[in-house]
Amino acid sequence: MPNIRAIDMMFLDDLFEMGGGYVLNFSNSTFSRFFADELNVDIDDPMYAEQGGSKGKRLRCFLQNVDVPTVLRTLKALWEYREASRQRDGKPETVQNAQGRLLSVINCLEGKPDAQPAEQAPKPAFDRPKLLALRNDLIGFVQLTPQARGYAFETLLRDLFNVFGLEAREPFRLKGEQIDGSFLLQGETYLVEAKWQDAPTGVADLHTFHGKLEQKAAWTRGLFVSNSGFTVDGLIAFGRGKRVVCMDGLDLFETLSRELPLNHVVERKVRRAAETGLPFARVRDLFPT
């Protein structure tokens, strides 16, 4: 049985501007990111594209097929986003008695019996308990010997990439405390170089890694993870316009503790690098609280 009456769905179409396959001002990527960040939902799951792949059609299918608690969380999150965007842009309200009518829909849903057998919880965008475990592991690494820490860091990065479906290449080859590997993001291949050492990473290591990329196909990109960070002089000397983005230990901790999808973190780092030419932007600046 559908969650929402046809007449109420018509109202939601107007409220969330779902005509023509759109939803509010979302692009395809920001739509996916919103559902992952706010609801831990994989809205790109093929099951929601049974009636078409547009954002509007996927949202309608999603609302009619997932469990009622998820529908309620989704409507409330979309309303909050709609109002924040409307007030920021100074747009007038175009739907008569919008909030009151939405509350009526929510009240009807809250009065429904437990979810019908056809309804199901949506596929999560990421495994929250796994992220918590990885964060705790990262904190505990300082107690390990250098060799054990290297192997543990290898496992943590591999698992973190795979939590977000980035298809980490195994094994990550261990060379001292340096870990090599690769992952896929939006069809692009990224080589990974990671260091866990006391001193911040300098320009020599950055140039060495970039040299490895230049030996590969022209479209290959790189992610350099340095737990101890990067020297300011090293980043300046490394220069602009390279195919490398950087992540430090604080970035990694904030990604885990704030439950930020790693794929979105890397995407924002890549976009900032494209805009500025600089290889390193902190997660706290890319995702301000």
What is the percentage of the chain residues whose pLDDT exceeds 70? 91
Is there a contact between 282 and 246 (Cβ–Cβ < 8 Å)? no
Angle between helices 68-89 and 28-39 (to 10 degrees): 120
Complete edge-to-edge strand list for the sheet that includes strand 221-226: 173-175, 178-185, 188-195, 221-226, 244-248
Domain boundary among 110, 143, 177: 110
Which pLDDT value is given to residue 194? 84
CATH number at residue 271: 3.40.1350.10
Number of domains within the chain = 2
Mean pLDDT of the chain: 86
- Could you tell me which residue, 25 or 1, shows the higher pLDDT? 25
191 falls within a domain? yes
* CA–CA distance, 200 with 143 (Å, rounded to integer): 19
Do residues 96 and 143 both lie within one domain?
A: no
Residues facing residue 201 across a β-bridge: 230
Which pLDDT value is given to residue 2? 65
Which pLDDT value is given to residue 177? 41
Q: Mind listing the pLDDT tens digit for each residue in 141-188?
A: 888 888 788 778 878 888 898 888 888 775 545 444 445 678 888 888
Residue among 251, 233, 246, 249 nearest 278 (CA): 246
Which pLDDT value is given to residue 110? 81
Residues facing residue 189 across a β-bridge: 184
122 falls within a domain? no
Predicted structure pTM score = 0.62
Q: What is the mean pLDDT of residues 204-209?
A: 92
118 falls within a domain? no
**Distance separating the N- and C-terminal Cα atoms of the chain:** 39
Do residues 165 and 231 both lie within one domain?
A: yes
Q: Which domain holds residue 280?
A: 128-286
Q: Mind listing the pLDDT tens digit for each residue in 85-118?
A: 999 999 999 999 999 999 989 988 887 654 444 4
Do residues 62 and 34 both lie within one domain?
A: yes
117 falls within a domain? no
Do residues 182 and 102 both lie within one domain?
A: no
